[in-house]
Structure formats: structure tokens, C-alpha cells
Structure 1
């Protein structure tokens, strides 16, 4: 397993080198009505660094570019997804093209993952440290 300091350094480098799609989603995630919680970007979780993470809901958001269609990358994505699920996280994935073409639909899906439905009222989210 990679040490914590190495994962943190990798996350810091990724935060400095964000993609245009990550920057676009990050700007709008900060404006979601989330009383009591927040998203982190390029957060280390276990052996991985995830694009976005809401600790209160254990929700991971990953953005995928075209290279995620390649067999090796797709296999690593599946292994990664299974690891998250075994550890009690929920991970949702979006293609970069979804961010660029229909950001409101992406935000609606994230809201539903956080609160259960489009019509749900926001509730204070409590971050539980593990």
C-alpha cells in the first residue's frame, strides 16, 4: 500500500493540475445547497485519489475522459469501484462530455444521490469521522 504522505502529495499535485471539466464541476459543486457539509476535490481514500468526495454521504464523484474506454483503464475502474463499494462508499461516474454538454443534469443526479429525490429538501449533512 502507498503511504499516506505519498497519497496526499499526489492529491495536492492533482488539485494543482485539474482538467477543465473538473474545474467546471468544482465551481458548481461549491454552490450546491448543502447545509453542514461539503465536497473535497482530489481526496485520498484508501489506496486511491478520487476526483470529488462528500464525506457526510460517503459519496464519490469521478469524471472520466475518453481513455476510460480502453480495456486496461476500464478494468482498473471496475476494480476501483468494487473496492469503494466494499469499503462502504458510493461512487458515481460522469463522462467529461456530460459535464460539458449537460451540467444541470449532472448536478440533478448528484443532488438525488445526496438527498434521495429531486424534490427533497436539503438537510444538514453530518460528517462522521471513521
Structure 2
């Protein structure tokens, strides 16, 4: 875990444009008071955005997440994170760029479902 902290810091500095846009929606409890962390270490992974209170993760997926090898790796990652009690939502870059309000509402709805379960 100690090795992942410098890596997480590096990822925060080198965020993608989609991650930057989504971070503006999530930061400072802007999403109905939910606190999110970006590039947060969980187990052996660094997740894009995490709401620890709700055990909820948002992953921003670019074009590299469409290859067979990446799909298998993402499925294994999702399985491990879910085994730790986290729910995971994957959002394509294009949706963040083209439908940011819809993405916001999708995340909020998923959080509210987690909160009532």
C-alpha cells in the first residue's frame, strides 16, 4: 500500500480530460454532500474516484478498456473490489464529455441506491 501512495499522487497530477471534468462534478462534496477521493488506493488498485462512506467507486474508461485483455483485467479488478464490499460504476470518457449532466444523475442515483440498501 505504501508504494501506491506516490503512484496515486502521480496519477492525480496526470489526470485525463474526462477525469478532470468529472472531478469538477464530484469534488468538495458537490454531489449532494457525498465526499469523493480521486485516484484513491484500495487494496492493490488505485481507483479513479471513491466515495468511502458509501463504498462506491467510479471508474472512467477510455479507449484502452475495450481490448480483450483489458476487459478480462477490468472484470478481475471489479470482482476483487466488489469482494471488498464496493459497488463499481464504469463510465466511458465519451459520456463524460458529451453527457456530463446525465453522468452526474447516474452517479447520484447509484449512490442513493447504495445508501438505502
Q: What's the TM-score once normalised by structure 2's chain length?
A: 0.92
C-alpha displacement of 1:32: 1.4
- Which ranges of structure 1 fall in alignment gaps of 5 or more residues? 117-122, 124-130
* Cα distance between partner residues in 1 of 2:2 and 2:101: 36
Alignment-derived partner of residue 35 in structure 2? 38
CA offset digits 1:79-103 (Å, max 9, x no partner): 0000011111000000000001101
C-alpha displacement of 1:23: 0.3
Alignment-derived partner of residue 71 in structure 1? 68
* Cα distance between partner residues in 2 of 1:57 and 1:32: 13
Higher-Rg structure is 1
| Aligned counterpart in structure 1 of residue 51 of structure 2, from 50, 54, 65 | 54
Higher helix share: 2
Q: What's the TM-score once normalised by structure 1's chain length?
A: 0.83
* Cα distance between partner residues in 2 of 1:83 and 1:32: 26
- Calculate the aligned-residue CA RMSD, in Å: 1.5
* Cα distance between partner residues in 2 of 1:92 and 1:79: 14
Is residue 114 of structure 1 aligned with residue 84 of structure 2?
A: no
**Aligned residues, how many?**
113
| SS across alignment from 1:5 | coil
* Cα distance between partner residues in 2 of 1:67 and 1:111: 26
Alignment-derived partner of residue 12 in structure 2? 15
